[in-house]
Structure 1
Amino acid sequence: MKTNTVFLALSLGVSLFASSALAETRITYKSAKTGSSYYQMGVQLAEAMKAGTNGDIIVTVEESQGSVQNVMETKARGGDYVFTTPPVLVTLAQGGKAMFEGKGDPKFDEIRALFPIPSLTMHFVMSADSGVTDFAGMENKTILLGKGSFGATEGEKYLKLFGLEGKVNLAEVELSNAVPALKNGQIDGFVTAGSWPAPNVIEAAASTDVVVLSLSDEQITETKRAKLVIPAGTYSGQTADITTTSLPVAAFTTTAMSDDAAYQLTKTFWESKASMSEGAPWWKGVDTALMANITSKLHPGAIRYYTEAGVELTAAQQ
């Protein structure tokens, strides 16, 4: 009798342990470099997922060297992999174009979207002392573009588009030193891309008078990027809306992820967004209107959530 009791207790213990283990889903979230705003977002998402699911979903944030790497890693990852990238890169990967030419893989066709996150937003930040209020005024000024980032590449493209190529002095300073360089007059302005409010723009506006340039509708059309409006009051001294461009970014996984896991991730993200916005204003810029920027297929589990929530999806997303 005693042996049977011990056996029953052990059986119940193993059963309960198995149920607990099955209930917990572990996810690897690959976003950006440590210290970047997108890495911080990953940490916030991890905390929100743990709190919103009572620990049923545990997210580990993994440093990344960039969006292209994130897409490439789907070749070797399993159903626990979530990554961030601009939707356009998924389209290019699935078509074997641009940076993915000659590097195609059947796994790319299994990539599926979950939800949008804050867009990469262009900021052209000029010191008030420079007197620059539009792009034409940047001629003969010293501008910091940085190197190797999306913001640097995009900023260089805009200078060419708007007739400023060779007419602007490009500073040989790291972007991490942009704010002190602006304050001491070493540069007249800097270009940065990130979520808004951008931490380095907040710092610059708080420490010196700055002007963040707006683009006209014609200029935005020339860039072939999405239009984005940063509301007045976002930055210190900003009395009017800033009209600029953005590159949409979203969280993706693959069909290897279970429908239930994708559903829970998507549902918890949207239900946690309001609380995340209280501690990090960049989440306020995310709403269901950004779903239109996801041009590839959504994961079936995510589709289940959007259907329940009454969010209209395009044919391409389904």
Structure 2
Amino acid sequence: MIKKVLCTTLCALTVGVMPISAQANDIGMETATAASVVGLLPQTMASYWGEDGINVQLSMGQTLTKSLLKVATGKLDSAVVPTPAFYALQAGKGPYAKMGEKASALSKNVRALFGFPASMYHAVTWADSGIESWEDAVGKRVYIGPPAGAANAQITALVKAGGLEPGSYEAVKAPWGVASQSFQDGQFDVYVGSFGLGSQSLAEMSLQRPIRLLSVKPENRVPSKSVGMADGVIPAGTYPGVVNESDVYTFQTLMFIGVNEDMSDEIAYQLTKSYFENVSKIAEGNPLMKHLVSADPFVGVAAKIHPGAARYYAERGIEIPDEYK
């Protein structure tokens, strides 16, 4: 029996990479900012995993394209993986372009436990900026995510679905952690941020100064599968200081919990089992995660399912799609 231990959460922005654990009850995991579903899910689950005997040493504020590479090379046990980042690793493109065929080979070392819909992109502009639609943002400065993240391609696809072609605006890249303040300081005109629906930080911003949310065109509501997103809606009235009177169409990011293929079947099984047994509890504790309860367990999954996770699905009678077996 795996000995039960307390979970340790490392909230530092940068930590040393933890090698794949020799002890079966101790693993390293990386994720992004705590302000999003991407960070909230593993941070909240860490205590439940600890109760079930898995000590997850969680490092937050990481660039997930880099975290994925650490998992693929065996330098890290697990990470939250953006779906398009895995596709890029498979193809040796994007942030892995210089690696060529080596990137594709490394992608075969990654397995998935489960997927989940994460945050929604909110395209924010000040209500008095004169920008009432994406067409009004021609020639303007638009924040498209951190320099090395998977978000660049996603936000570019979102902006295009709104009606702006690449090159018709000035794309600004900066770390997630400084983006909100940079927008408030006037460093760009449109801030495309990743937020859980009903985000408190965005609500507070809207109360300081009225904001407008930009929508994708109705005919472009369904994104291409290759960008790793799903269609989403921000209902009118979600935020107190937003001037939009109708629903806003946007895109929702998709993620999966990725692990190195050498993770033991028992740990992979327990991580998966604990999540599904406690997802209702974490949803009750934070409204930003209430959508996780009804989510398809394979939404956003791009890698093959780990045998340990497959064991859990078999016990529950959940059929794994052939592409992930």
TM-score range, shorter chain: 0.7 to 0.9
**CA distance 1:142–1:316, shift in 2 (3 Å):** closer
AA matched with 2:133: D
Deviates more, 1:133-142 or 1:165-174: 165-174
Deviates more, 1:244-253 or 1:234-243: 234-243
2:281 is matched with which residue?
A: 275
AA matched with 2:308: G
What TM-score does the superposition give when structure 1 sets the normalisation length?
0.74
**CA distance 1:157–1:297, shift in 2 (3 Å):** closer
What does 1:228-243 correspond to in 2, within 5 Å? Answer: 228-237=232-241, 240-243=246-249
Residues 171-227 of structure 1, C-alpha deviations (whole Å, 9 max, x = no match): 899513146337xxx765422134444454233223232222221243345766421
* Correspondence 1:125 to 2:124: yes
1:88 is matched with which residue?
A: 84
Structure ranking higher in helix proportion: 1
AA matched with 1:113: A
- Give the drift of 1:248: 1.1
RMSD of the alignment, in Å? 3.7
- Give the drift of 1:269: 0.8
SS in 2 for 1:90: helix
Report the Cα distance in structure 1 between the residues aligned to 2:57 and 2:152, rounded to whole angstroms. 29
Structure 2 segments unaligned to the other structure (5+ residues): 6-22
Report the Cα distance in structure 2 between the residues aligned to 1:304 and 1:221, rounded to whole angstroms. 33
- Give the drift of 1:45: 2.1
Deviates more, 1:221-230 or 1:116-125: 221-230
Alignment length, in residue pairs? Answer: 294
Residues 270-309 of structure 1, C-alpha deviations (whole Å, 9 max, x = no match): 2222221233333223233362331331112212222333
- Give the drift of 1:84: 1.2
Report the Cα distance in structure 2 between the residues aligned to 1:258 and 1:293, rounded to whole angstroms. 23
What TM-score does the superposition give when structure 2 sets the normalisation length?
0.73
1:249 is matched with which residue?
A: 255
AA matched with 2:214: L
**CA distance 1:103–1:264, shift in 2 (3 Å):** same
Structure 1 segments unaligned to the other structure (5+ residues): 1-17
Report the Cα distance in structure 2 between the residues aligned to 1:218 and 1:248, rounded to whole angstroms. 21
**Greater CA radius of gyration, 1 or 2?**
1
- Give the drift of 1:40: 4.2
What does 1:175-190 correspond to in 2, within 5 Å? Answer: 175-178=179-182, 180-181=184-185, 188-190=189-191
Deviates more, 1:137-146 or 1:294-303: 137-146
- Give the drift of 1:153: 5.2
2:100 is matched with which residue?
A: 101
- Give the drift of 1:146: 5.7
Report the Cα distance in structure 1 between the residues aligned to 2:47 and 2:223, rounded to whole angstroms. 40
**CA distance 1:143–1:134, shift in 2 (3 Å):** same
AA matched with 2:202: V
1:209 is matched with which residue?
A: 210
1:57 is matched with which residue?
A: 54
